[in-house]
A and B are shown apart, each in its own frame.
Chain A
Amino acid sequence: MKIRLDNVVKTFETFRAVHGVSLEIESGELVALLGPSGSGKTTILRMVAGLEYADAGHIYFGDEDATDIPVRDRGVGFVFQHYALFPHMTVAENIAFGMKVSKVRRDKTAIDARVTELLRLVQLEGLAERFPGQISGGQRQRVALARALAVDPKVLLLDEPFGALDANVRRDLRRWLREIHQELGITTLFVTHDQEEALDLADRVVILDKGQIVQQGTPEEVCRNPASAFVMNFLGDTNRFTAAVSDGVARLGEARIPAPGFDDGPVEIFLRPSDLGWSSSGAGIPATVARVIDRPAGRRILALTTTGEAVELDVAPETQVSAREQGIITIERARVYATG
C-alpha cells in the first residue's frame, strides 16, 4: 500500500510539532524517519496510524483519503516503543487479540493456526504460554511485531522499535526485521533517533528537524551528499571550522580546500574524523595531540590546533602516536556549507 502525506500540520497547545510535511512512501518500501527528539518524527508516525489527527493536510493510503478514518478502521500495525503488550495475556493471547476483536469472525482453529504461524515467523515457538513479564526485552519486541502483523495490516509502523534494547540484541533484531520485511513485502515506516539504525535498515531515510523534512534519500545519498550542516552533523561525528573563501578556495591552516560556487567570504567547513590524517609534514593544520583513544577498528586522536580548536581524527590502528606529540592534520575530504 502506497502512503502519501500532503502538507500535514500538527500543533500541540502552543507548540507546533509538524510544519507542513509532504512525503511519499512507495508500496513495499522500508522508510526511516530520522531526527533528534522534538523533530516531530513520532507525531508524523502517529498521524499515519490515526493515533493523532492532523490539524491540516491529508494522508492518503493508496488512492483513499485516510485523514479522518479512525485508528481502529485504518488497518495499520503499530509497534510501540515500550511494546505495550497486554500484561495479563499470554504471548499467544496477545498475538490473537486483534483477530478476536475483529469485525471479521474467525473460528478458534483458524486463530490458533495463525498464532502458531506468527510464532514461527518471529521464532518464539516455545513461549506461547508465557506472560510478557516472563520474557526478555528482545522477545517482547518480537511478540509486539507478531501481534501487529496478525491482523494483516496494510502498513507497518514502528516507533523507536529497538530503543529500549541493548546494543547486541538491537543489531540482531535489525537484521531480522530486514529479513521479515523482505519476506512479507509490507510497506513499513519506522521512527528512530539513531542514525546507524536508520542507515542500516532503511531503503530510504527521511531526515527531520523542527517539524520539517530537511533531506530524504537512500542511505548512500544522504551519507555522501548531506544537504545541510544540520544533516552533516546529525549523521555522524564532525569537526566544524569557519574559514574564509577567496577565489573559490577556502584556506584552513596550510590546507587549501576547494569551494567552487561559493562567493568570497566566511563559510563553514565540516570534516569527519575519518576524512583526516596525521602526518609529520605536509600541507595541513598544525596541531598537538592531547589524547589518544584506542578502539577495535583504529585509533582516535584528540588534537588541539595551534589556534586552540579541538579536532578529532581517526587513524589506522598501527599508527604510532602519543600525547603531546606535534604534527600536521592532513585533509582528505571536506564539506563546505554557507555560514548560517
Chain B
Amino acid sequence: MARRILPGFPLALGITLVYVSIIVVLPLGALVFKAASLGFEDYWRIVSSPRAVASYRVTALSALGATAFNLVFGMALAWVLVRYRFPGRRFVDALVDLPFALPTAVAGIALTTLFAENGWFGSVLAEICVKVAYTPLGIMVAMAFTSLPFIVRTVQPVLEDLDPALEEAAQTLGGSDRSIFLRVILPLLAPALLAGLSLSFARSLGEFGAIIFIAGNQPMSTEITALLAFIRLEEYDYQAAAAIASVLLITAFLMLAVTNILQARALRYTARG
C-alpha cells in the first residue's frame, strides 16, 4: 500500500466500520433475517394483503405530497434566508431546525389540536369543507412539518455559495429574471435539491410519531405502513412486522439509489478530463 500523508487511517476506518456495523447494519440485517425466515409465499401474502397495500398507497402518496410542498416552500424559505436581510432573519433561521429538535409526538399532538374541527385552523377550514385531521391530508401536514428542514438545510449553503457574478453575467446577456432562475440558478441548485428531496421523502416514509395522532389510523384509509408494522409487533407477530418493515426499507434504498444516479448526472459538469 502506498504511504499515506494523512495520519490515523486504520484507526479512523476501524472505528467507523465498527459503529456502522453495530448501529446500522446489524439491526437492518436482523430485520432482513427475520423477514427471510418466512417462506416466500407467506412473505408475499403478508406484504400484498389489501390492508398492507392500502397503507403503502397512503404512505407513499402523502410522502409525495409533503415532499412536493416542501420543495416549493423549503426552497422559498432558503431563498429568503440567504438573499434578503430583514429583522428576525436569524430567528426564522433558528426556527427551521425546530422540527428536528421537537419530539415528533409533541408535533403530532400540536398539529392535531390546531387542525381538529374545533381547533384554530380546523374550524376555519371546516367552513370551506376541508377536513385535515383524521384524513390523508393530515398525514401530509405532519410529514411536511417533520421533513421541512431537510430541503432548507441542503439548499441554503449552495445558494449562499452561488457567485452573484453569475446572475449579473446572465443579466448583461439580456436574461429575464425568469430565464435566469430557470436556466442558471435552478440547474446549479439541482443536486442539492435532489439530496434534500430524497432525505425529505425518506423521512416522510418512515415518520411515525407525528402522524399517528393526526391520522385517525383507520385501516384501509389513514393507516400508514410504519403503524401497521407497529401493530403487528404489538400482536407479537414479529415476522409479519419485519416483512412489512422490509418493504419500507427496500423502497428507501431504491429511492436513495435513484437520487444518487440523478445527482451524478446533474453534477457531471464537475468531472475533470
Could you tell me which A residues sit within 8 Å of B by CB distance?
A: 49-51, 71-74, 76-78, 80-82, 84-89, 97-98, 100-103, 131-134, 147-148, 150-151
Task: Provide the residues of chain A in CB contact with B183, threshold 8 Å.
Answer: 97, 100-101
Q: Is the CB of B166 within 8 A of A101?
A: no
Which of B166, B176, B273 lies in contact with A86, CB distance below 8 A? B166
Give chain A residues whose Cβ lies under 8 Å from the Cβ of B179.
Answer: 101
The answer to whether the Cβ of B170 comes within 8 Å of any Cβ in the partner chain is yes
User: Number of contact residues on B: which range applies?
Assistant: 20 to 34
Which residue of A77, A80, A85, A134 contacts B273 across the interface (Cβ within 8 Å)?
A: A134
Cβ contact within 8 Å between A51 and B172: yes
**Max chain A Cβ within 10 angstroms of own Cβ: one of B171, B180, B272:** B171
- 8 smallest beta-carbon distances between A and B, as pairs: A98-B173, A84-B165, A84-B169, A131-B269, A78-B172, A101-B175, A101-B179, A88-B187
CB distance A88 to B269 under 8 Å? yes
Contact string against A for B residues 251-273, beta-carbon threshold 8 Å, 1 for contact and 0 otherwise:
00000000000000000011111
Given A87-B188, A97-B183, is A80 in contact with B171 using a C-beta cutoff of 8 Å?
Answer: no
Cβ of B163 and Cβ of A102 under 8 Å apart?
Answer: no
Is A72 touching B187 in the complex (CB atoms < 8 A)?
Answer: no
Contacts A85-B169, A97-B173 known; list 9 others, CB within 8 Å.
A51-B172, A80-B168, A82-B165, A86-B169, A132-B269, A133-B269, A134-B272, A147-B169, A151-B173
CB distance from A85 to the nearest CB of B (A): 8
Report the bound CA distance from A73 to B165 in whole Å.
18
A309 to B271, CA, bound (A): 56
**Are A72 and B270 neighbours in the complex by a CB distance under 8 Å?**
no
Asked if B174 is at the interface of the complex by the 8 Å CB criterion, the answer is yes
Q: Is B269 a contact of A49 with CB atoms below 8 Å?
A: no
Q: Which of A49, A86, A89, A103 is within 8 Å of B172, CB to CB?
A: A49
User: B20 interface residue, CB < 8 Å from A?
Assistant: no
Asked if A84 and B168 make an inter-chain contact with CB atoms under 8 angstroms apart, the answer reads yes
Closest to A51 in B: B168
Q: Are A78 and B169 in contact (CB under 8 A)?
A: yes
Q: How far is the CA of A147 from the CA of B166 in the complex (A)?
A: 13
- CB contacts (< 8 Å) of A151 on chain B: these are 173-174
Ordered by A's residue number, 13 sampled pairs between the chains whose C-beta atoms are within 8 Å are: A50-B172, A72-B173, A77-B172, A85-B169, A86-B166, A86-B184, A87-B270, A88-B269, A101-B183, A103-B174, A134-B271, A147-B173, A151-B174
B166 touches A84 (CB 8 A): yes
For B158-198 the 0/1 string (1 means CB < 8 A from A) is 00000101101111111110011001100110000000000
